[in-house]
């Protein structure tokens, strides 16, 4: 049994990760300041004697005895990370330093949840890990994108300088139950609008593309990366199948049986036109690829939103 710390453990991905690690027989500490996460996401775990919740902010140091650290704490949706951009940058950078210091002191292996946003508005498509990205350093998304890039830098410097045992994953759009219904991410937005019979808001013409990975697939890749030897990453984790926003909107209207129609709104600034991972490295090094289809994943997510709305 390993003692595993999950920062951001009360969030969307973090809570699914806690479920998975407990199911695998580990002792799990979930650390979260509940900025975007919720106790509702972990309420079912609070009775488990191998689960512990600590309300704490990763920008402050903490001393714990752990064998592994998954560092997920950071608001992930534009609405939330732009709410207090300086805090977002602090969470990424100071959070990374505090968790890397903890890993250094306890000899724990530490995994960073980085993001496809490190590629910015990519000049090459699809994106391999070797691409260095095209990021605006002074835009409204920079607090998140540059914060995550700096966190990657810190991870590799702690590895080179102090031999900390690091793993870095770059997560592409992931969706599923426990997404925050009001955080403005496209899948949850469309599903909530369709269930409520409201118009689905497509930004711009809707020809921009994204790839969507179901949460269970993503968590499986994340755990594989933590457990793999002699491979630090960064590694892309996501679903390489690409869909336009119009495609997605129509699919969700069909799957919910909604009467909603589609309206177009202004494209937000710095919104990437295309985003699609190359996952050859994950396939080769982790023997991983997504297995849940968009239709299947959307159906499970729609069922969740019907229950909570």
Ligand X SMILES: NC(=O)c1ccc[n+]([C@@H]2O[C@H](COP(=O)([O-])OP(=O)(O)OC[C@H]3O[C@@H](n4cnc5c(N)ncnc54)[C@H](O)[C@@H]3O)[C@@H](O)[C@H]2O)c1
- The residues assigned a catalytic role are 144
Measured from the CB atom, the residue of 178 and 260 that comes closer to ligand X is: 178
57 binds ligand X per the rule CB under 6 A: yes
- Round to whole Å and give the CA distance between 196 and 246: 19
39-47: which pairs have CB atoms within 8 A and are 24 or more residues apart? 39/10, 41/10, 41/11, 41/12, 41/14, 41/15, 41/178, 42/9, 42/10, 42/15, 42/18, 45/15, 45/18, 45/19
State in angstroms the smallest separation of the CB of 174 from ligand X: 4
State in angstroms the smallest separation of the CB of 278 from ligand X: 16
Q: Which of 48, 52, 54, 59 binds ligand X (CB under 6 A)?
A: 59
- Contact 234/168 with Cβ under 8 angstroms? yes
The residues in 230-249 that bind ligand X, with binding defined as CB under 6 A, are: none
The residues in 13-32 that bind ligand X, with binding defined as CB under 6 A, are: 13-14, 32
Measured from the CB atom, the residue of 13 and 302 that comes closer to ligand X is: 13
Cα–Cα distances in angstroms (integers) from residue 227 to residues 12, 21, 110, 218, 242, in the given order: 22, 12, 11, 14, 29
In 3D, which of 214, 260, 235, 87 has the Cα closest to residue 166? 235
- Round to whole Å and give the CA distance between 173 and 277: 10
The residues in 247-306 that bind ligand X, with binding defined as CB under 6 A, are: none
Only one of the segments 11-19, 101-109, 129-137, 276-284 lies at the binding site for ligand X (rule: CB under 6 A); that segment is: 11-19
In 3D, which of 176, 218, 214, 217 has the Cα closest to residue 302? 176
Count interface residues toward ligand X (CB under 6 A).
29
Measured from the CB atom, the residue of 32 and 108 that comes closer to ligand X is: 32
Cα–Cα distances in angstroms (integers) from residue 127 to residues 133, 238, 241, 275, in the given order: 9, 11, 13, 8
99 binds ligand X per the rule CB under 6 A: no
Only one of the segments 10-18, 21-29, 133-141, 280-288 lies at the binding site for ligand X (rule: CB under 6 A); that segment is: 10-18
34 binds ligand X per the rule CB under 6 A: yes
Q: Which of 3, 18, 30, 35 binds ligand X (CB under 6 A)?
A: 35
74 binds ligand X per the rule CB under 6 A: yes
The residues in 147-206 that bind ligand X, with binding defined as CB under 6 A, are: 171, 173-174, 180
113 binds ligand X per the rule CB under 6 A: yes
> Who's near 290: CB < 8 A, 6+ residues apart?
213, 214, 217, 218, 238, 239
33 binds ligand X per the rule CB under 6 A: yes
- Round to whole Å and give the CA distance between 64 and 57: 14
Residues that bind ligand X (CB under 6 A): 7-8, 10-14, 32-37, 57-59, 72-76, 91, 95, 113, 115, 171, 173-174, 180
């Amino acid at each position: 049994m390993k003692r595993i710390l999950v920062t951001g453990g009360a969030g969307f991905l973090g809570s699914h990760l806690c479920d998975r690690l407990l199911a695998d027989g580990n002792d799990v500490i979930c650390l979260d300041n509940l900025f975007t996460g919720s106790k509702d996401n972990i309420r079912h775990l609070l009775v488990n004697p191998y689960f512990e919740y600590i309300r704490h902010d990763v920008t402050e140091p903490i001393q714990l005895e752990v064998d592994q650290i998954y560092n997920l704490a950071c608001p992930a949706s534009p609405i939330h990370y732009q709410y207090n951009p300086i805090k977002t940058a602090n969470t990424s950078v100071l959070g990374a330093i505090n968790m890397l210091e903890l890993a250094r002191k306890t000899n724990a292996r530490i995994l960073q949840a980085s993001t496809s946003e490190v590629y910015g508005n990519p000049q090459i498509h699809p994106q391999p890990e070797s691409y260095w990205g095209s990021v605006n350093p002074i835009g409204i998304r920079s607090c998140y994108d540059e914060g995550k890039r700096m966190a990657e830098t810190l991870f590799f410097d702690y590895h080179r300088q102090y031999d900390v045992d690091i793993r870095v994953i770059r997560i592409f759009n992931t969706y599923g139950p426990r997404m925050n219904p009001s955080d403005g991410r496209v899948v949850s937005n469309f599903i909530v609008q369709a269930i409520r019979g409201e118009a689905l808001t497509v930004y711009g013409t809707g020809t921009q593309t994204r790839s969507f990975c179901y949460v269970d697939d993503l968590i499986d890749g994340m755990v594989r990366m933590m457990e793999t030897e002699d491979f630090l990453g960064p590694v892309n984790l996501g679903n390489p199948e690409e869909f336009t926003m119009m495609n997605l909107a129509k699919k969700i209207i069909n799957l919910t049986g909604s009467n909603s129609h589609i309206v177009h709104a202004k494209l937000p600034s710095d919104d990437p036109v295309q985003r699609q991972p190359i996952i050859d490295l994950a396939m080769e090094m982790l023997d991983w690829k997504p297995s849940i289809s968009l239709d299947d994943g959307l159906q499970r997510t729609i069922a969740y939103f019907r229950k909570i709305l």
